[in-house]
Amino acid sequence: MKLKSTRGMAPESNFIDAIFKGLAPDGGLYHPVEIKSLKSTFARLSADSSFIDVAKAVALPWLSDEWDEAAIDRIVKRAFSFEPALRKIDDNTSLLELFHGPSSAFKDFGACFLASCMEEALSCQQRRALILVATSGDTGSAVAQAFHNKHNIDVVILYPSGRVSLLQEKQLTTLGGNVHALEVGGSFDDCQRMVKEAFQKKDLADALQQASAISLTSANSISIGRLLPQSFYYVYAYAKLKDEIDGDLVVCVPSGNFGNLTAGVYAWTWGLSVKEFIAATNVNDVVPEYLKTELYSPRASVQTLSNAMDVGNPSNFERLQAIFENDARKMAEIIKGEVVTDSQTRETMAALYKSSGVFVDPHTAVGLCAAARYLGKDGRKKDHVVVLSTAHPAKFLEIVEETTGAQPEIPANIQKALKLPKQSVKVPNTLEALEEFLRNTFCIKQACI
C-alpha cells in the first residue's frame, strides 16, 4: 500500500512505516496514492459473509505488499473478536451498532486493527514500541483495551485528572500490565502538549532506543492504520443489505473529526455502491457549512450533549479535501450535511425509546434525526439509510436516563471495569514529569543518564 501526504511535500511511504510515523514528515496525513477498484470483491460478499470474511477481503488488496495472506489472516483474526450488528428500525432505516467491542465504542475497530498490525510488524522486525497517547476519554479507552497484552508494545496514556467520566477512567486505569495510565494535574490540552513535547525531545527517544530498543510512536485517531479498518464495516453493511433493500443505500455518519466518514468515502471510491453519505453534526457545523457555501471556516467548538463531536476544526477534513481535489461541489454531490441541535437530539432519543424500546446514545441520536430529515425530502422514499451507532447507550447513562426515564442494560465489560481497582500514577502537567516516568519505567538507568 503506497501512501502519500495530503500536503504533497513528503516522500511516499508504505503502510507499516506510516502506522509507526502517524503524521507524514510535512505534517500532512497519509492517504492512498492510487484508487483500486474492489467492485469484484464487493460483489462476491453476501449476507452470509462474516465480519472476518469482509475484513480479510478488503485488507488483502491493500496490505499484500507488506504481508503475505497468512499474516493478514492473523492480523484480522487477532483484531476482531467482535463484529457490528445491524438493527432494523423501520422499512427505511437501520442502525449499524459499532459498540460491541472491548470499550463499547466504534473506535475499537480502528484501535484493535492498528494494535494487531503493529504487533505483527514488531514481531517480524524484532523491536519494541512505546505508544504515547493523550486522551479526553474514549480514544484512550479504546487504545488501552486494544493494546493490552500486545507483545513488544507498551502504552502510556495521559488523561486530565477529574475531567473524564468514571467509566472512561476505569477503562483506562484498570488493565495494568503493559498499559500505564498517567493522571495529569491539568487539562486535556496539557496532556496533548506533554506528548507533543516528548516526541520532539530527541535525547529521550535516543535513550529509550539505546536502553531497551524502544521506538516512540503514537496511536492517534488520524493514523491510516485506524482509518482503513473503519472502511470494513461499511462493506459489511452493504453485504448484509444489498439483496434485501429495493432502493439505494445511504449511510448516515455522526461526525466530529470526520475520520469515520472519510473511511466510508474511501470505500465508495473503491466501488462500494452507496448513493450518498449524510454528514450528521451537532451545532459544530463547519463541514455542513462548507458543503453549502464552499467556504471552510474553522472555529472554537461549542459544548453539546454529543460531546465527542464537539470539533471546530476536524482533523480528517484534510483527507476529504484530498479525495475530492479541494472541489467543494464534487464533495457536496456525494456528502450531504445535516445539523442537529441538542433539543432535537433529546427528542429523537425519547421518541425512539417510546416507539420501539430502543436506547441510543446522543451521537447516534444525531445520526437518526439527520436520517429522518434526509428521508423526508423528495425522491428519497425508497432509499434505505444505515445510521452508524457509535457508542453503547450505557456509556452515556445519565443523559439516556434523563431523556427516556429508563436505564439501558449495562454490558458485562462495562460492569467489570467499574468494579476493578484503579491503577494510575499522578503526575504534574510538565514535560519533566513525563520524561522522568518514561526514563524510570523503560530505561536501563545507566543508559539514560
CATH code, domain carrying 323: 3.40.50.1100
In a domain, 281, yes or no: yes
Of 86-90, 175-179, 205-209, 348-352, the one with minimum mean pLDDT is 205-209
Position 228 scores a pLDDT of 97
Q: Which domain holds residue 423?
A: 108-223+418-448
Cell of 147: 493494546
- Indicate whether 230 pLDDT > 50: yes
pTM of the model: 0.94
Contacts (Cβ under 8 Å, ≥6 apart) of 357: none
- Tell how strand 85-90 and strand 93-97 pair up: antiparallel
Answer yes or no: do 383 and 239 share one domain: yes
Of 107, 240, 336, 395, the active-site residue reads 107
User: Which residues does 303 contact at the CB level (< 8 Å), separation at least 6?
Assistant: 310
Q: How many CA within 13 A on the CB side of residue 185?
A: 6
**Is 20 in a helix, a strand, or coil?**
helix
* The pLDDT value given to residue 446: 38
User: Would the pLDDT of 449 be above 50?
Assistant: no
- Between residues 235 and 35, the one the model is more confident about: 235
445 pLDDT higher than 70: no
Residues 208 and 344 in one domain: no
Letter string b/e over residues 22-58, b meaning 16 or more CB atoms within 10 A of that residue's CB? bbbeeebbbbbeeeeebeebbeebeeebebbbbbbbb
As given in the structure block, the three cell numbers for residue 73 are: 489472516
What pLDDT score was predicted for residue 444? 56
Name residue 425's amino acid: V
Task: Give me the pLDDT at residue 356, please.
Answer: 96
- pLDDT tops 70 at residue 65: yes
Q: Report helix, strand or coil for 156.
A: strand
Average pLDDT for the chain: 94
Cβ–Cβ under 8 Å, residues 251 and 386:
yes
Chain CA centroid to CA 361, Å: 16
At residue 448 the predicted structure's pLDDT band, cuts being 50, 70 and 90, is: very low
Higher pLDDT, 308 or 334: 334
Using CA atoms, how far apart are residues 59 and 41, in angstroms rounded to an integer?
11
Q: Is residue 40 part of a domain?
A: no
Does 276 fall in a domain? yes
My answer on whether 319 and 360 are in the same domain is yes
As a whole number, mean pLDDT of residues 355-360 equals 97
In a domain, 237, yes or no: yes
Percentage of residues of the chain with pLDDT beyond 90:
84
Q: Are 439 and 184 in contact (CB under 8 A)?
A: no
Query: Which helix (DSSP H) or strand (DSSP E) does residue 118 occupy?
Result: helix 107-125
Alpha-carbon span 162 to 70, nearest angstrom: 45
In a domain, 162, yes or no: yes
Q: For 157-208, what is each residue's pLDDT tens digit?
A: 999 998 888 888 999 999 999 999 999 999 888 998 999 899 889 899 899 9
Could you tell me where the DSSP H helices lie in 246-358?
Answer: 259-269, 286-293, 317-323, 328-334, 342-356
Q: Is residue 74 part of a domain?
A: no
Q: Is 107 tagged catalytic? A: yes
Identify the pLDDT of residue 447.
46
Tell me the pLDDT band of 66, cut-offs 50, 70 and 90. very high
Q: How many domains does the chain have?
A: 2
Q: How far apart are CA 108 and CA 97, in angstroms?
A: 12
Both 232 and 97 in one domain: the answer is: yes
Cell of 297: 471556516
Same-domain status, 151 and 283: no
Would you state the cell numbers that stand for residue 16, as one nine-digit string?
Answer: 507499516
Distance spanning both ends of the chain, measured CA to CA: 40
pLDDT per residue as tens digits for the range 277-286: 999 999 999 9
Range scoring the smallest mean pLDDT among 120-124, 153-157, 233-237:
120-124
pLDDT digits (tens, 9 = 90+) for 381-393: 889 999 999 999 9
User: Is residue 380 situated within a structural domain?
Assistant: yes
Q: What's the mean pLDDT in 402-417?
A: 95
Between 338 and 127, the higher pLDDT residue: 338
CA distance 169 to 7: 36
